[in-house]
């Protein structure tokens, strides 16, 4: 890249306040030239959602992508900007496989050069529970136990193995250098938002803002979650009835959000009503209870990776009850 700005890439993970950071901090900071989600043009979206993430090596053209990025920078850069930032959690995570995450990292390196990487992790038990709640909001009606079973049966293309954080972080450190990869825990954001944000500002070399980050994608209470599942069963929302798999349906995956679409209006309206229901009654977000069998399976899956990560980064993951 010919830009004089230092490039930063926030590669994920999802369910770590990514939407809140993107909408309330990254897009609003006057010293950040922002390229990420929510994208402000179809061209930019295609560049990062298709070219970098999905195209195979034969179809991918780094020179074309580089030219598009530099053209965007030249049009939008001003004297206030100190950092160039791309934020997209699907760079390190995908619901049904298909992305070569190491190849994506190499493409980032090829496009931006000496880039600095931000990765935010979350307790895997809480991550999966939050993902289940989000998918219920998107139309899922099956029980949490069946949800776990369905994804386990699809293990090789599921998001389960992608939550082995150490393996991905180690690859990024090897590619970009240890000092250029910043690792944060989502739980620190929950515990002390101000200090957490200051770490991000300091890492990116920009001024601290006084703004707080409002909560996005709020998980429902146990009662609201049950009502949502029941309603989803009665009036299904299945991504418009094309190819469909139970574990993957969601509002964000539907291409047609027309107001003429009854099912879409119904689903959005129901989510709003249940969220307000929780707020009015002061009900807390529900964390799904893991059957002992699944708790043991997932612990055995993630504990070895978390133990290595704890040694690598010096984190006290036991403090937040990560599988160890």
Whether 174 and 227 map to the same domain: the answer is no
Q: Is residue 110 part of a domain?
A: yes
- What pLDDT is stored for residue 242 in this prediction? 37
Whether 234 and 179 map to the same domain: the answer is no
The answer to whether the pTM exceeds 0.85 is yes
Contact indicator for 93, 169 with CB cutoff of 8 Å? no
Considering the chain, what is the average pLDDT of its residues? 87
Arithmetic mean of pLDDT, 239-247: 38
Contact indicator for 249, 138 with CB cutoff of 8 Å? yes
The pLDDT-based confidence of 251 (bands split at 50, 70, 90) is very low
pLDDT score of 250 more than 70: no
Q: Is residue 140 part of a domain?
A: no
Dump pLDDT digits (tens) for 228-238: 898 888 887 65
Whether 226 and 198 map to the same domain: the answer is no
Q: Is residue 105 part of a domain?
A: yes
- What pLDDT is stored for residue 52 in this prediction? 92
Q: Is residue 231 part of a domain?
A: yes
Whether 71 and 193 map to the same domain: the answer is yes
Whether 102 and 13 map to the same domain: the answer is yes
**C-alpha to C-alpha distance for 57 and 94, rounded to whole angstroms:** 19
- What pLDDT is stored for residue 278 in this prediction? 85
Whether 84 and 119 map to the same domain: the answer is yes
Whether 226 and 99 map to the same domain: the answer is no
Arithmetic mean of pLDDT, 5-29: 93
Whether 102 and 194 map to the same domain: the answer is yes
**For the packed helices 101-112 and 165-176, what is the interaxial angle rounded to 10 degrees?**
30
Q: Is residue 113 part of a domain?
A: yes
Residue 119 forms beta bridges with which residues?
A: 12, 183
Whether 81 and 190 map to the same domain: the answer is yes
Q: Is residue 305 part of a domain?
A: no
Dump pLDDT digits (tens) for 130-150: 999 888 888 888 999 999 999
Any idea which residue has 């939407």 for tokens?
19
Q: Is residue 300 part of a domain?
A: no
User: What are residue 19's phi and psi, to 5 degrees?
Assistant: -60, -40
3 state SS of 288: coil
Whether 103 and 196 map to the same domain: the answer is yes
Q: Residue 196: give its domain's CATH number.
A: 3.40.50.300
Arithmetic mean of pLDDT, 156-173: 95
**Total domain count for the chain?**
2
Whether 179 and 259 map to the same domain: the answer is no
Any idea which residue has 């700005």 for tokens?
5
Q: Is residue 80 part of a domain?
A: yes
pLDDT score of 96 more than 70: no
Whether 227 and 167 map to the same domain: the answer is no
Residue range of the domain that includes 30: 6-123+160-204
């Amino acid at each position: 890249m010919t830009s004089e700005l230092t490039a930063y890439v926030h590669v994920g993970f999802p369910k770590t306040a990514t939407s809140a950071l993107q909408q309330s901090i990254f897009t609003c900071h006057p010293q950040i030239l922002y390229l990420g989600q929510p994208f402000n043009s179809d061209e930019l979206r295609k560049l990062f959602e298709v070219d970098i993430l999905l195209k195979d090596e034969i179809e991918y053209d780094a020179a074309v992508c580089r030219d598009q990025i530099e053209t965007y920078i030249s049009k939008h850069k001003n004297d206030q900007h100190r950092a160039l930032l791309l934020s997209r959690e699907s760079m390190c995570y995908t619901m049904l496989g298909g992305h070569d995450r190491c190849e994506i990292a190499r493409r980032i390196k090829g496009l931006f050069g000496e880039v600095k990487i931000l990765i935010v992790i979350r307790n895997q038990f809480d991550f999966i529970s939050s993902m289940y709640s989000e998918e219920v909001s998107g139309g899922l009606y099956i029980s949490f136990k069946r949800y776990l079973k369905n994804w386990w049966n699809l293990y090789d293309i599921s998001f389960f193995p992608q939550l082995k954080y150490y393996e991905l972080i180690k690859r990024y450190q090897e590619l970009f250098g240890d000092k250029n990869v910043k690792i944060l825990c989502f739980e620190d954001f929950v515990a002390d938002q101000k200090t957490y944000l200051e770490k991000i500002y300091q890492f990116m070399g920009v001024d601290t803002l006084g703004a707080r980050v409002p909560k996005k994608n709020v998980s429902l209470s146990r009662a609201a979650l049950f009502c949502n599942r029941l309603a989803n069963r009665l009036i299904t929302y299945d991504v418009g009835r094309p190819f469909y798999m139970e574990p993957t349906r969601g509002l964000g995956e539907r291409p047609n959000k027309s107001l003429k679409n009854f099912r879409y209006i119904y689903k959005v309206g129901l989510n709003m009503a249940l969220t307000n229901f929780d707020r009015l009654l002061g009900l807390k977000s529900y964390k799904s209870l893991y059957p002992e069998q699944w708790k043991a399976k997932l612990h055995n899956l993630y504990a070895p990776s978390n133990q290595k990560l704890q040694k690598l980064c010096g984190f006290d993951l036991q403090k937040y009850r990560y599988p160890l």
